[in-house]
Structure 1
Amino acid sequence: MAMEMQAPLLSKNYLVIFDEMNILNLSSLSLWDLGKGKGRVSTYLPIKGFVDRGHNVYYITNHVSQQAGCFDGITVIKAKTILTNKRQFLDIIVYPFTLLCFLYVSIKICRKHKPDVIYSHTAHLSLPAFILSKIFRAKYVLRLYGVSHVKSMRFKVSYLFLYMAFSLKSDMYILTNDGTEADKVALSFGIPQEKIYFLKNGINKEWSTYPINSNLKKQFAPNEEKILLSVSRLANWKQVDWIINVFAKLLKIDTNVRLIIVGEGPEKKYLKQLSIDLKIDDYVSFVGSQLQANIFNYMNMADVFVSMNALSSLSNPVFEAMICGLPVIALNRGTTSELIKNGENGILIDDEQLGELPRIINNLLENNEERKRIAENGRKTILEQWPSWEERVKKEIDLIENLVDNKV
C-alpha cells in the first residue's frame, strides 16, 4: 500500500518572540515550478516558514503558471508583464516595461503594508527591489538559487542581469550552494564576505526510513527488471537526452532494465520522440511531474539514479536519492565532487568517460553488494553533512530577523 505523505512540514517548536514583519518578495519564479506540491521546494519552504513564524508575506511574480491569491498564508500578486518566460534576449528588450510593472504593483502593496524586508529572488528583479528598499527604507536581500555560466547567448544574457544584481548594494546575499559556486561569483564582484550566506538546500531526512512501495515497483518492473531513474525538470541543461542515449546503449548489453523519467518541462516532447527514434520507448516510462512529497516512492524502488546536469549535480533530486539509499551516478560538473566521492558514496563521470557509462551502469546493476555499499555511504553522507529542511528554513528566518534587528 502506497505511503501517503504531506509536503515537508516545519515544526513550530523553533518559534521565537519577534515583532511581526512585512516581507515583500519579487520573483519571476512560481512558488512551485511544476504546480502546487511539485518540483522545486527551495522557494516555497522558506517563504512558508516566515508565515509559520508569524510574519506577513507578499509574493509578486510574473510567472505564467502562478495564480494570484492566498496560498498557505502567502499572499500572491501577479505582475502582468509582456513576453513573460519566452526567450532570455527578449527580457532585455522588454525590461523597462517589466521594471515599471513590478514597481507599480509593488508600490501599491508597500503603501498599504510598509515592508521591513524586500527580497529579489531573481537577478533581473534586483533593480526594482533595490529601488523599493530605498523608497520605503526596508532591508534589501538578494536571493539567488545558483548562477549560470557564460557559455551561450542564454547565459550571456543571464550574466548581464547578474552584473546588475551584484552591482547594486544589498544588505544580505543568500545564495544556494548548488554546485555553481555562486559564492565565488559574488566575491569576484567585490561583495564583502560577511554579507554572503552560502546555504545548502535542506533534505527530508525521514525519507531514509520509508519502505519500498512494492505495488508501484511491480507496475514498472513486473518481471523484476532493474530500474534506472532520472528525476528533474525536463529542460535542456538537465541533459536528460544524454541519459536516454546512454540507456539505449545499455539495452544492447542487458534488456532486463527499465528507465523511469520523472518530471515535466519544455523538452518532454523531444525526449519522448528521441526514445521512439532509438526504438527503446517500450523500455522508457515518462511519468510526468509528481507531488514532491511522493518522490520517495520512485527513489525507494529504483536501483540506480542518474544525473547528467550540465552545470552541477548538487540538486535536490540527488540529495533525495542518496537519503533514500539509492546509488547515484552523476556527471562531474561544477562542485559535484564536493559531495560525491567517486567509488565511495557515488560514482562520478568525467566528460571523457561518457562512452564507458553504459558498461559502468551495467556493472553496478549486476553487483548487488557494490550498489548497497555505495548507497549506504551516500545515505550516511547526507544524514551527517546536510541540514533538514526545518534546520535550513530556521537558518534563513533567523538571519532575516537578525538583519531587521540590526544584529547582522
Structure 2
Amino acid sequence: MDFAFDARTEELRARLLAFMDAYVLPAEEVAHEQRSRLADPWGTPPVVEELKAEARRQGLWNLFLPGKEYGAGLTNLQYAPLAEITGRSPQLAPTALNCAAPDTGNMEVLAQFGSEEQRERWLEPLLAGEIRSAFAMTEPEVASSDATNIRTRIERDGDDYVISGRKWYISGAMNPACAVFIVMGKTDPDGEDIRRQQSMVLVPRGTPGLEVRRAMRVYGYEDHGHGGHAEIVLDRVRVPVTNLVGEEGGGFAIAQARLGPGRIHHCMRLIGMAERAIELMCLRAVSRTAFGGPLARQGVVRNWIADARVTVEQLRLLVLKTAWLMDTVGNRGAHTEIQAIKIATPRAVVDIIDSAVQLYGAGGVGQDFPLAELWAAARTLRLADGPDEVHQRSLARRELKKYL
C-alpha cells in the first residue's frame, strides 16, 4: 500500500488549499451575515453561489464522483485528501464544490440505478448545482438504524404509486432549492425476504400530499448551511411508476450501495474538522495567558495537542487504507474497514473538538468561534449512516465468524 499522493492529487490539493484560503474561509462570516438578511432563512446566501461559480471556474467541481462521465474521475484514494480539506469548513466548502451530502449520495444513486429519463430530469441539474435534493429514509416511529423497520407504504395503483408515511431528519429538505426527494418505503411489507420489501421512488417537491412540516434542530442548531433537517409527511402522495428507482424490492440494496461511499466521505471530512480544531487549539494556546504564562506551557494543554495529533494520524491512515481497498477490491471487500472508520472517526474527532472547546472556555461554546458547531456536526455523525452500535454489532459478528 502506497499512500503517497500522485501528481494529480497534489495538483488538486494545492488548488483546493488556495481556494479555501482565498475564498471559502473568508466567506464564513459573510454567509452568516447574509443569511440573517434573507427573506427566506432557508435560502442560499449570495456568497455561496459566488463560491460555486468560482469553484467551477477553477475545475474544483463534482470531485466525489469516480466516473469521468459525470464527475472528475478520481479514485477514492485521490478524493480522500481533498474531502479532508473541505472538512475544515463543513458548512460551506462541500456545497461550494458540489460535493455536499445528501446530494452526493443521491447523485450516485441516480447515476448507478436511475433510468435515462430520471438522469436527464434530476441528475443533470444536480450535477450542475442548479437544484438540491433530499434522501427520505429515517422515521420517528421506528428504530431506523434497522431499515427493515420502515413503515412508509408505497402501494401500486394502476400506473401510479401512492405513498403514505412520516419521515424526519431529512437533510436538505428545508432548502427551497431542494427539488426532489428519494423516498424509501415498503412495496411488499409481507414479503418473506425482509430485505426485499423496500423500494425507492422519486417524489418531486410540490407533489400534492407532500408536506415539509418543520425543521428539526441538531443540538440547538438549525444547520442552515446544509439546508436544514426536516420532518416531512406524505399523505397519499401519488407519483407515476416510472419514478421507481431501480426495481421493486431493490431499495435496501440501493441504500447500502449509497451509504458505503457516504460513510467514508463523512470520515474524510471529519479529519479536516479535527485538523481545524488542532489549529485553533494551537493558536489559542500561544496567544492566551493564564497563571503567569501562555496556555501553551501548561502540561495538560500540550497533552491535548499531542494526543490529537497522534489520533488524527492514526485515523487518516485507516481512512486511506479503506479508500485504497474500495478502489482495489470494491466496497464489499472493504466492508470491515468502512465500518471501522465509521466507528472510530466520529468518536475520536468529537473528543478532539471537545478538548479545543475546553481550551477556549466560554468562547468554545459560543457563536464567535466554529468549535461548538463543529462539535455538534461531529457528534451527529455517530448516528448518521448507522449508529456506532450497529457497526460494532456487524463488525464483531464478522470477526467471531472466523472462530465459530
Give your verdict on TM over 0.5.
Answer: no
Tell me the TM-score normalized by structure 1: 0.28
Tell me the TM-score normalized by structure 2: 0.28
Determine which structure has the larger helix proportion and give its number.
2
